Amino acid sequence: MDSEAVRAELMRIKRDLEHRLEDTDSYGLNDAMRDQTSELSLADNHPADVASELFEREKDFGLRHLDHVRLNEVNLALQALADGTYGRCVECGQTIPEERLEANPLARLCIDCRRRQEARWTDLQRPIEEHVLWPGFGRTDLDGQDQTGFDGEDAWQAVARFNQRPGYDQDVEPHLERSYLDDNEGIVDPVDSISNEMYRAQRP
């Protein structure tokens, strides 16, 4: 492997990254989001009204962060080249094949170590909240209990009602019409479901 050619390629990548990071307009982050959307204030807008703009803004931040990470990887590769350790896996110490280094000059792991690392990342990439909330509705699974909270069954019934077709699904189980539901939505005690009309109708 020609170390001078590798160094030249790494320096080219480094210059490109530094130029992009120094030019603050490369990522479209020079202007405030308010100026980009021509809105004086976002307080009167529903979040969905600016969802596309927010997505693009977050993507631009992500691209800039990715360039910072990549620049750090270039510096590590240059340091390894200076130390004489370039081309060796930092985990197992084995020589990284030249084909892999040609495809990715910043590679610091051999294929096997990289695969093991990616297998470990499967769980690390998930939001930390999932460890607290696992399983879904785990903390609010109160089906079959005498309670008035909105539980997993209620959530399913609430969503399934939107998919009913009037005049067609009446005989399909489970029945989801309002009179069938046992969630007592909006009331605490059965007596709370008595309407003013029902009360007046029973008066003598």
pTM of the model: 0.54
CB 96 within 8 A of CB 88: yes
Cα distances (angstroms) measured from residue 170 to each of 167, 177, 184: 6, 8, 21
What secondary structure letter does DSSP report for 95? B
CB 74 within 8 A of CB 53: no
pLDDT in tens, 71-125: 999 999 999 999 989 999 999 999 999 999 999 999 999 999 998 888 877 656 6
Cα distances (angstroms) measured from residue 34 to each of 31, 53, 59, 70, 182: 8, 10, 17, 30, 47
Domains of the chain are 3-127 (1.20.120.910), 128-204 (no CATH)
Residues sharing a CB contact under 8 Å with residue 139, sequence separation 6 or more, in sequence order: 133
- Dmax of the chain from CA atoms? 102
CA neighbor of 13 nearest in space, from 86, 70, 94, 66: 70
pLDDT in tens, the chain (204 residues): 678 888 999 999 999 999 988 887 777 777 776 666 666 666 666 667 777 778 888 888 889 999 999 999 999 999 999 998 999 999 999 999 999 999 999 999 999 999 888 887 765 667 777 777 776 655 666 666 776 667 777 777 777 777 666 665 555 555 555 555 555 556 667 777 777 777 778 887
Q: Which amino acid is at 161?
A: R
Q: Which residue has the tokens 């620049």?
A: 71
Helix spans in 23-163 (H): 33-36, 51-83, 98-103, 111-124, 129-133, 152-161
What secondary structure letter does DSSP report for 48? G
Q: Which amino acid is at 77?
A: A
User: CA-CA distance, 115 to 89, in Å (whole number)?
Assistant: 13
CA neighbor of 64 nearest in space, from 103, 33, 108, 18: 18
